[in-house]
Amino acid sequence: MMQLKLQETAFLRTVLDFLLSLEDTRIFLVGGAVRDVLLGKTSHDLDFVVEGDALTSARKLANHINGAFYILDSSRNYARVIGHDEEDIRTIFDFAPLYQNDIHADLQSRDFTINAIAWEISLKNEDLIDPLHGIKDLEKSILRPCSDYSFIADPVRMIRAARFAVEYKMEVSESVRDQVHASLSKLAEVSEERKRDELFKIFENHNVADALEILHNLNVLELVFPEVQKLVDFRQGNPHQFDGWKHTLQAVRYCEAMLNYIDTDEKNKQLLPLMEDIYRLLDGYSDDFKQTLHVSITVERTLRSLILFAAFYHDVGKPLDIGEKVGNRVRYSHHSELGAKAAESRVKRMALSKSEIQWLKCFISTHMLLHDLNTTASEAEQRIFLYHFYRAAQQASPFVVLFSLADLLATYDDTMKSERWQMGLIRCEKALNGWFRQYNSLAAPEPFLNGQELQIEFNLKPGKRLGALLDDLREAQASGEVTSKQQACEWVSAWIQKMKE
Give the pLDDT of residue 500.
Answer: 82
Distance CA 129, CA 2 (A): 9
Which secondary structure element, helix H or strand E, spans residue 29, and what is its range? Answer: strand 26-30
Which secondary structure element, helix H or strand E, spans residue 471, and what is its range? Answer: helix 464-479
Distance CA 189, CA 158 (A): 13
Going by the DSSP 8-state scheme, the letter that residue 145 receives in this structure is: B
* Cα angle for residues 420, 306, 81 (degrees, 5° grid): 150
Give the pLDDT of residue 5.
Answer: 64
Report mean pLDDT in 10-residue bins for the chain, 501 residues: 65 91 90 92 92 94 96 93 91 95 96 96 80 96 96 97 96 97 96 96 97 98 97 94 97 98 95 96 97 91 97 98 90 96 97 97 98 96 98 98 98 96 98 98 95 92 93 96 95 91 70
Task: Map residue 405 onto helix, strand or coil.
Answer: helix
1-140: what CATH class? alpha beta
Residue 319 pairs in a beta bridge with none
The total of other beta-carbon atoms located within 10 Å of residue 178's CB is 13
- The pTM is what? 0.93
The total of other beta-carbon atoms located within 10 Å of residue 136's CB is 14
Ramachandran region, residue 40 (left: φ > 0; alpha: ψ -120 to 50; beta: rest)? left
Distance CA 337, CA 237 (A): 20
Phi, psi of 66 (to 5 degrees): 55, 40
Distance CA 281, CA 178 (A): 46
Residues in the chain: 501
Give the pLDDT of residue 108.
Answer: 96
Half-sphere exposure of residue 394: CA atoms within 13 angstroms, side-chain side:
11
Distance CA 384, CA 377 (A): 11
Nearest Cα neighbor of 331 from 341, 343, 317, 344 is 317
Distance CA 225, CA 232 (A): 12
Give the pLDDT of residue 385.
Answer: 98
Contact 237, 330 (CB under 8 A): yes
Distance CA 11, CA 141 (A): 32
> What is the residue extent of each domain of the chain?
1-140, 254-443, 451-500
- The CA-atom distances, in angstroms, between 128 and each of 35, 117, 270 are 11, 7, 39
Distance CA 243, CA 120 (A): 52
Query: How many DSSP H helices and E strands does the chain contain?
Result: 24, 11
Nearest Cα neighbor of 477 from 382, 383, 395 is 383
Distance CA 56, CA 19 (A): 11
Give the pLDDT of residue 87.
Answer: 87
Distance CA 413, CA 254 (A): 11
Residue 7 burial (10 A CB sphere; 0-12, 13-18, 19+):
exposed
Distance CA 347, CA 289 (A): 25
Give the pLDDT of residue 304.
Answer: 97
